[in-house]
Structure 1
């Protein structure tokens, strides 16, 4: 049996194929297969992927299923004991697969392994920065406040994935947060201290680049946490009990309102007041959050002040990130 199956799903990202796939072919781990999935692209992504086919690299293509459907389909065809996700367009550094597989080999108590990542924000002057912190332990409570992983850099046991039922189609976004919540009941999580992955943020077509999809992701992530809290309390999972209508039982979330305010502030700092107002309005409607009311009023009545404050906030953030980046590179 193959040790590791890498799954990478592409949709209309022909220009990002070659460098991203090359990073997988340059891995130090020999016992692995690479599954490159074209999710019904309308550009020449499929053609670019097929140039990389060989005895260790398979291309899976079909009609557009969406990310969750494409992932579930590819993992069902994977031959590996371990599944490594690789974000389309991102780069896995050469030792990533080997280091993560070693943990799963040596630690039967660990079911999911991540690593620290270098994040490069496209179409922005924001400097590269390091994200995530080392972690090794029971994540059932931790995951309520902090997602220990991005999606693209993880490796998990295929048997565990099948045991919890895979990605749930309801979560068209935030499918990973929901999966980690369910997996956390069965194993420990581990995040390696090493930087073994480079993630590109705000790629055109990604969730982070689309305000509407980003807000949907935050709402679905909050619902995933609600389901997780119910399970921790010994009650049925609302999605399993009521189907999609279970989302109607989610109570107002002050944490979601705070998150929406932060996202809205970032849009304001980038000069996108329309998206900022939408976020502040959603935050206000979520829980009557006072800062959201004030920010919405500022975005409506005194946008110049809000833009100026946003620019100051953004410059301070850049300075902090630059200092952290410089320290990390020493």
Structure 2
């Protein structure tokens, strides 16, 4: 058998109804040197494993394991693969037919590029916005560390391909990061290679309302905290040569620095809790806010908390928030 160029790695947990469509989109790639490694990460839905086992293709390898979470599953998939390049595929997502060929071509022709992404389309599955499509664009095709450190992550994760040798060099996905593990990995790799985004939609990222991070407030909270900590880890490595996870392992987060980004994020949560009279969440977010620096947004949130104690203030505050949101 010829040497495999690309290993497509998928960590699957439930979502059985999308198994065949997702994997078939990979089998239908217009490229002839790839393998697909799917780890069924202890899915509670028995149909997930059943549907995966029903897929019959020599390019496909299915691994069933006890649940270890996404990082444990995707690491297992990569360890079982052999390709020079690693392509990640989100469970239930769709890769357009030319995705693997186009990304592999970028890596083949540009040895300085170690991570290659593409434009993609977000599609909502379930909920009141079921079927809503929104193109995700990032006009800057060449990505630097500052793009990862400021604002949102320019890469979506499921649509990314990278070089195995650089992944191995930095140690791969770190189990510490239950969420934002992709951002941490890109920041580990960015000083060893260039990052390029193909300015063409080659991927469909599905946002599942029943079990996705985007619908779970507690997961969103932890994801945001870990994203900021991943950024701090990068800056620490630049300054000290080692980050807190490397130095203290699972206890590294105890030494996290305060963050204005988190302060503004918490301010939004405080305002939302006020609007729906969720006093438990309000109290929790106020407690978290005390650990972050004072920003204009958090001052506004604190002011609204005070005036909401009065009936007239509540009416004025609600009007102010709705007017602000409409802008």
In structure 1, what is the equivalent of residue 176 of structure 2? 170
Partner of residue 216 from structure 1, selected from 213, 222, 225: 222
Larger radius of gyration: 2
Larger CA deviation: 252-261 vs 182-191: 252-261
Match of 1:115 among 102, 118, 130: 118
Whether 1:72 aligns to 2:75 is yes
1:29-40 equivalences under 5 Å are: 29-40=31-42
Residue by residue over 1:273-310, the C-alpha shift from the partner in whole angstroms, topping out at 9 and shown as x without a partner, is 57974785366332244423533664765389649955
Give the 3-state SS of the residue equivalent to 1:94 in structure 2.
Answer: coil
Indicate yes or no: 2:194 matched with 1:188. yes
Cα gap change, 1:303/1:194 in structure 2, threshold over 3 Å: closer, same or farther?
farther
Distance 1:92 1:22 in 2: 9
Alpha-carbon distance in structure 1 between the residues aligned to 2:28 and 2:277: 40
The 1-side partners of 2:189 and 2:110 are apart by: 16
TM-score, structure 1 as length reference: 0.85
Equivalent position SS for 1:135:
coil
The answer to which of 274-283 and 255-264 deviates more is 274-283
Distance in structure 2 (CA, Å) of the matches to 1:132 and 1:150 = 10
SS at match of 1:169: coil
Contact in 2 for aligned 1:85/1:151 (Cα 8 Å):
yes
Q: What are the within-5 Å matches in structure 2 for residues 86-125 of structure 1? A: 86-122=89-125, 123-125=127-129
- Could you tell me whether the CA contact under 8 Å between 1:38 and 1:62 is conserved in 2? yes
Deviation for aligned residue 1:265? 6.6
Check if 1:132 corresponds to 2:132.
no
Asked if the contact 2:14–2:48 (Cα under 8 Å) also holds between the matched residues in 1, the reply is yes
Question: 1:74-126 deviations in whole A, cap 9, x for unaligned?
Answer: 10110111111010111111111110000000000000000111112332338
Query: In structure 2, which of residues 61, 68, 71 is the aligned counterpart of residue 58 of structure 1?
Result: 61
Q: Does the CA-based 8 Å contact 2:119-2:199 persist in structure 1?
A: yes
- Contact 1:9–1:88, Cα closer than 8 Å, also in 2: yes
RMSD between aligned residues: 2.8
Question: Within 1, Cα distance between the matches of 2:55 and 2:62?
Answer: 8
> Which deviates the most, 250-259 or 137-146?
137-146
SS at match of 2:222: helix
Q: Is the 8 A contact 2:143 2:197 kept in 1?
A: no
TM-score, with structure 2 as normaliser:
0.86
Of the candidates 13, 16, 19, which is equivalent to residue 17 of structure 1? 19
Helix, strand or coil: the match of 2:38?
A: strand
Specify every segment of 5 or more residues in structure 1 that has no aligned partner in the other structure, as ranges.
Answer: 317-330
CA distance in 2: counterparts of 1:189 and 1:141, whole angstroms? 12
